[in-house]
């Protein structure tokens, strides 16, 4: 596997790699250099090798592109060595970007299989992050089609995303949906009704965990808490994670005079420890703004809250609505702070609804849980390698 990521904290990459390793496949994962420990280690049966390329965080398109190119070159060299030693059957590339699939080009010419795993569709993601359209959009769509052409199989993270790729010319026959659902070995135990916190509790804990960037609406969550601090005296927003706009959000909290109601934890929590900390939360929040990329996202944080029985407030966006009805989550209008604030207030005042909503939302996992998704992934691989 090839992924421009920190393996230890990337839930999707780890879940797929470790599921395959548990079924007897020998899995190597090439990732960016974390710089905090050994560059090569084994974790839950997966051989992880950090290449000497750091993950870029910033807002420069050029810097992103150069970092991606260096990583693609380093991964290509390693794959070529594995090919010559006869230790390579499948090259599984996780985007972003799609063009990392070039690392599998020579192995494909040598008869090996190539998988492109589309976490986020590139045209929508880059248009949302960097702006632009017209020629740049066409070039990104071309990058997507050419990358898909190299791959034998293209994995999509949800069904609306698959339809978007098909509309842009990616053959439907080579696409496979493997949803970004939580690992049941980590997120498999929902809290019992007796563990749910009551309205009379001294604090009302809201949580968002993930990347701290404006396009994911973290500033909207801070604004909502500012509007509610007098109406919900014990309201407290927990923000776990780092990102390009973290310092801006700290400043916003001070400006809105709610820095005493917001707990920033830039380092987040290790994936294995995350559920025990989420258990203390009353409501999970998703802040995504409406955008081309946002409409195609099914946020993994939402699914983790659902798995743990935590009621969730979400924007009314296309892909979320595809899977979740109004009795499974509390919807608000995307980008509308007043609508978000009203939704938080309604759930705060209605403990019975919080319990019903959390219980109903878990029916999603009956159809789309990792027990089924993981089995489908293993069967895909057995087909690729002829087992």
Written as tens digits, the pLDDT of the chain (387 aa) is: 999 999 988 889 999 999 999 999 999 999 999 887 789 999 999 999 999 999 887 778 889 899 999 999 999 999 999 999 999 999 999 999 999 999 999 999 999 999 999 999 999 988 887 776 678 889 999 999 999 999 999 999 999 999 999 999 999 999 999 999 998 988 987 755 434 554 446 899 999 999 999 999 999 999 999 999 999 999 999 999 999 899 999 999 999 999 999 999 999 998 889 999 999 999 999 999 999 999 999 999 999 999 999 999 999 999 999 999 999 999 999 999 999 999 999 999 999 999 999 999 999 999 999 999 999 999 999 999 986
Q: What is the largest CA-CA distance in the chain?
A: 66
For the domain spanning 2-181+369-385, the CATH number is 3.40.50.2000
Is the whole model's pTM more than 0.85, yes or no?
Answer: yes
Which CATH architecture describes the domain 185-366?
A: 3-Layer(aba) Sandwich (3.40)
The pair of three-digit structure tokens given for residue 242, joined into one six-digit string: 């780092």
Q: Report the distance separating Cα 48 and Cα 239, nearest Å.
A: 29
347: helix, coil or strand? helix
**CATH 3.40.50.2000 segments of the chain:** 2-181+369-385, 185-366
Q: Report the distance separating Cα 185 and Cα 250, nearest Å.
A: 34
CA distances, 237 to each of 225, 231, 259, 345 (Å):
7, 14, 10, 14
């Amino acid at each position: 596997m090839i992924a421009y990521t920190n393996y230890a904290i990337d839930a999707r990459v780890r879940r797929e790699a470790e599921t395959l390793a548990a079924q007897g496949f020998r899995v190597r994962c090439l990732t960016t250099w974390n710089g905090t420990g050994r560059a090569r280690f084994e974790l839950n049966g997966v051989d992880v090798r950090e290449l000497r390329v750091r993950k870029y965080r910033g807002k420069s398109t050029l810097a992103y592109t150069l970092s991606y190119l260096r990583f693609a070159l380093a991964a290509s060299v390693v794959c070529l060595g594995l090919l010559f030693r006869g230790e390579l059957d499948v090259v599984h590339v996780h985007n972003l970007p799609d063009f990392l699939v070039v690392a599998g080009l020579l192995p494909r010419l040598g008869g090996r299989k190539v998988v492109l795993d589309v976490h986020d569709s590139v045209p929508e993601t880059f248009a949302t992050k960097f702006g632009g359209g017209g020629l740049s959009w066409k070039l990104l769509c071309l990058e997507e089609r050419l990358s898909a052409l190299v791959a034998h199989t293209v994995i999509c993270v949800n069904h609306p995303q698959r339809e978007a790729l098909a509309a842009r010319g990616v053959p439907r026959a080579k696409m496979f949906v493997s949803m970004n659902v939580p690992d049941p070995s980590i997120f498999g135990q929902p809290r019992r009704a007796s563990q749910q916190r009551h309205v009379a509790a001294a604090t009302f804990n809201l949580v968002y965990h993930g990347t701290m960037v404006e396009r994911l609406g973290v500033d909207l969550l801070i604004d909502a808490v500012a509007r509610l601090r007098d109406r919900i005296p014990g309201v407290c927003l927990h923000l776990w994670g780092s990102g390009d706009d973290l310092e801006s959000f700290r400043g916003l909290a001070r400006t809105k005079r709610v820095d005493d109601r917001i707990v920033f934890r830039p380092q987040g929590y290790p994936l294995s420890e995350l559920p025990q900390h989420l258990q203390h939360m009353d409501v999970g929040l998703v802040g995504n703004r409406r955008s081309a990329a946002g409409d195609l996202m099914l946020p993994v944080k939402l699914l983790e809250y659902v798995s743990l029985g935590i009621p969730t407030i979400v924007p009314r966006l296309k892909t979320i609505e595809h899977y979740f009805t109004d009795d499974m989550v509390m919807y608000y209008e995307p980008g509308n702070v007043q609508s978000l604030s009203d939704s938080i207030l309604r759930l705060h005042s209605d403990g019975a609804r919080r319990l019903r909503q959390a219980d109903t939302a878990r029916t999603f996992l009956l159809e789309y849980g990792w027990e089924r998704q993981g089995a489908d992934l293993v069967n895909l691989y057995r087909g690729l390698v002829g087992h």
